[in-house]
């Protein structure tokens, strides 16, 4: 079992998530997947979906993005995982060329049986054919890894 790979995708996170089932509603974001500063996710306080009569929660948008990207990485993997958790390890604010960035590093834990998706399909097929229940190895095999998240927060920082 391996660490889920970073997302390599021609479409933006917003476009990708709007075309798939993602638990969170549409986010006021544009830009990239946030793996590097050059590919930062731009949080846009002035996006059309933002209700200007309410206080903007840019930090909430960051955490929704973190959840969505983690979920996307896990679901694109070749393995089935029962659960995932993440914990903030470090955060730093950087001002570069009139832009403000929030750089977050999370430790991510994924938990689930060490079964590939193909194993799951085969077990399901056998269960249906034989009308029996074949148990999947339920031992928890946690995997720990770290991921960086870069956000351009210029639209709402100090405004």
Predicted confidence at residue 121, as pLDDT, reads 62
Residue among 41, 120, 38 nearest 77 (CA) = 120
Rounded-to-5 percentages of helix, strand, coil across the chain = 25, 30, 50
| pTM of this structure | 0.80
31 Rama class: left (phi>0) / alpha (psi -120 to 50) / beta: left
**Dihedral sign (CA 85, 34, 64, 96):** positive
Residue 133 clears pLDDT 50, i.e. is over it: no
Percent of the residues in the chain that have a pLDDT greater than 70, as a whole number: 75
The pLDDT score that the predictor gives to residue 138 is: 43
């Amino acid at each position: 079992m391996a660490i889920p790979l970073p997302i390599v995708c021609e479409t933006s996170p917003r476009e990708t998530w709007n075309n798939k089932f993602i638990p969170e509603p549409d986010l006021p974001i544009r830009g990239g997947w946030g793996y590097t500063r050059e590919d930062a996710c731009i949080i846009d306080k002035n996006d059309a979906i933002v209700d200007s009569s309410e206080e903007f929660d840019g930090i909430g948008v960051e955490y929704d993005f973190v959840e969505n990207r983690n979920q996307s990485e896990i679901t694109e993997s070749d393995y089935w995982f029962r659960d995932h958790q993440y914990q903030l390890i470090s955060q730093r604010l950087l001002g570069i060329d009139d832009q403000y960035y929030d750089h977050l590093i999370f430790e991510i834990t994924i938990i689930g049986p060490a079964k590939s998706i193909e194993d799951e399909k085969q077990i399901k097929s056998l269960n249906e054919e034989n009308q029996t229940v074949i148990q999947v190895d339920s031992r928890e095999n946690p995997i720990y890894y770290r991921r960086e998240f870069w956000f351009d927060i210029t639209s709402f920082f100090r405004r």
